[in-house]
Amino acid sequence: MITIKLNPAQEMGTINKNIYGHFSEHLGRCIYQGMFVGENSSIPNQNGMRTDVVEALKNIRVPVLRWPGGCFADEYHWEDGIGPREGRKRMVNTHWGGVVEDNSFGTHEFLELCRQIGCEPYINANVGSGTVREMAEWVEYLNSDGDSTVVKKRWANGRKDSYGVKYWGVGNENWGCGGNMEPDYYAHEYRRYQTYCRNYGDHKLYRIACGANAGDYNWTDTVMKISARYMDALTLHCYTLPTGDWKDKGSATKFDKTLYYKTLQGALKMDELVTRHLQIMDKYDPEHRVGLIVDEWGAWYNVEPDTNPGFLYQQNTMRDALLASMTLDVFNKHCDRVVMTNIAQIVNVLQSVILTEGGKMVLTPTYHVFDLYKAHQDATLVAHEVQSSTVGIGYAQVPDISLTASKKDKLLTVTLSNPSLDQAVDLSLALGGVRKAEGRLLTGAMDAYNDFDHQTDVAIQPLTGIAVTADGIGCTLPPCSVAELTLAL
Ligand code: AHR
């Protein structure tokens, strides 16, 4: 039995809805086929965007979507992707799979996709191979209402009103694919580029500087020292590889119990990374004005057999569901400083919430976690106490329970993960005054997944057997499960 004391009166901060953000790149079948099929496709679409995918994304309330990369961002020249489609420049996507990029999905298409999903756009602009002028004019094109040549181009492309895009990333992974820069060089480049990204009218930009790769604390220290006062947020990228070896990361679906626990243990390093990067940021920003954005995270496995290695297409199992829920718990815990995160990537790439094949679509276990967690968006994090132990094999140990509790509109939402592969967990949630309790559950074998012939092998079901007493709630979580409890106070 695990006892959890909930204290809704002790408020720990607001969970920014953007913690539940996503990332899309011109990579493999993420944009093309995954979300954009074009107006003439036989796959049902609205203005070229797949209706099935858009509806599914609306259901999990995607709050923000990052685009166009990733590494692609620092090779992307936005003017190639505007104007009549037939005249758009073709390029070879040398970074991802060597396929032809015809730029048929460009700035207007991205903003139309965001409109349909109902999310905020987050544009990651090009520092590595772009120019200051190019970035400045992209901002002007989207946000200005002035009578300028750049703005007139937008009018000519069918959009009279400015879009008012708020979130702007100034380069991506500039320590690597974004130009192999040293941190002090990038920090000065950042200052220069962001200077010319103007606020137009009421459209105040939220400027995001490129942050570190996982545990590169020197990057954070240097970039903060030189440019903290010019940024609103700094990023962090961290992927989880079960084996820790980039040459053989491990299979998405074939793994043993030890590797299961090792993967989750690896994902939980996020807590230490976030804590330590924030400590460094505090040195230069004691008022906590600058937020931390983890705009690439998730599991990275070997690609599925017989798929283009440059497309990063991988399946998604219950292991990924636990990885997502436990990582989201880390972000929620740090909600006073973590202002946005973007799981990589939204469709058909890495730890996706959706996979597609032709006209078919499946929702992954990770999708269902975002569904179970959606009530936390913009809710107030509340305090809890739990005496937890660990589960695992050998050195591969993880906490035996992971949770987030938040409140909004007289509802308390508690999401709970039981990572154990062998033990069900009897839970006792100490809390008086609960009028009604409902629950939803996601569970399955650690390697269970959905595919195009078995679309609902892993699906959300009601959590039964919830006992409500004067002192609290009792329920049981099966092994390898994630649950959501909704408590009416
Ligand atoms: O998400 C795939 C790639 O991982 C991104 O393009 C890059 O930013 C990171 O290295």
How confident is the model over 417-472, as pLDDT tens digits?
A: 999 999 999 999 999 889 999 999 999 999 999 999 999 999 999 999 999 988 89
Q: To which H or E segment does residue 152 belong?
A: helix 149-156
Residue 365 has pLDDT above 90, yes or no: yes
Kindly state if the Cβ of 69 falls inside 6 Å of ligand 1: yes
Ligand 1 center from residue 347 Cα (angstroms): 14
Q: Which residues, listed in sequence order, are joined to residue 398 by a DSSP beta bridge?
A: 391
For residue 329 and ligand 1, the question of a CB distance below 6 A is answered with no
Query: What is the rounded average pLDDT of the residues 142-146?
Result: 97
Q: Average pLDDT in the 254-259 region?
A: 98
What is the best residue among 22, 24, 25 to mutate for testing ligand 1's pocket, by most ligand atoms within 8 Å of CB? 25
Q: What's the rounded mean pLDDT across residues 201-216?
A: 98
Mean of the pLDDT values across residues 236-250?
97
Annotated catalytic residue 296: yes
The residue whose C-alpha atom lies closest to atom 8 belonging to ligand 1 is 70
CB of 256 closer than 8 Å to CB of 233: no
Q: Is the CB of 295 under 6 A from ligand 1?
A: no
What is the predicted pLDDT for the residue at 470? 87
Tell me which of 75, 101, 296, 484 is the catalytic residue: 296
* pLDDT over threshold 90, residue 388: no
Say if ligand 1 is within 6 A of residue 124 CB. no
The mean pLDDT of 315-329, rounded to a whole number, is 98
> With a 6 A CB cut-off, is 296 part of the ligand 1 pocket?
yes
pLDDT-based confidence at residue 328 (cuts at 50, 70, 90):
very high
Nearest 10 degrees: CA dihedral of 280, 285, 291, 295? -40
Distance separating alpha carbons of residues 230 and 334, to the nearest angstrom = 23
Measured in angstroms, how far is the CA atom of residue 239 from the centroid of ligand 1? 9
pLDDT, residue 471, reads 87
Pocket test for ligand 1, best of 237, 341, 342 (most atoms within 8 A of CB): 237
User: Does the C-beta of 120 come closer than 6 Å to ligand 1?
Assistant: no
How deeply is 187 buried, as exposed, middle or buried, from its count of CB atoms within 10 A (0-12, 13-18, 19+)?
A: buried
pLDDT > 70 fraction of the chain, expressed in percent and rounded: 100
Q: Secondary structure of the chain: what % helix, strand, coil (to 5)?
A: 30, 30, 40
Q: What is the pLDDT of residue 41?
A: 98
Q: Which two tokens stand for residue 301?
A: 């496995």
Average pLDDT of 221-240? 98
- CA-nearest residue for atom 6, ligand 1, is 70
Q: 344 in ligand 1 pocket by Cβ < 6 Å?
A: yes
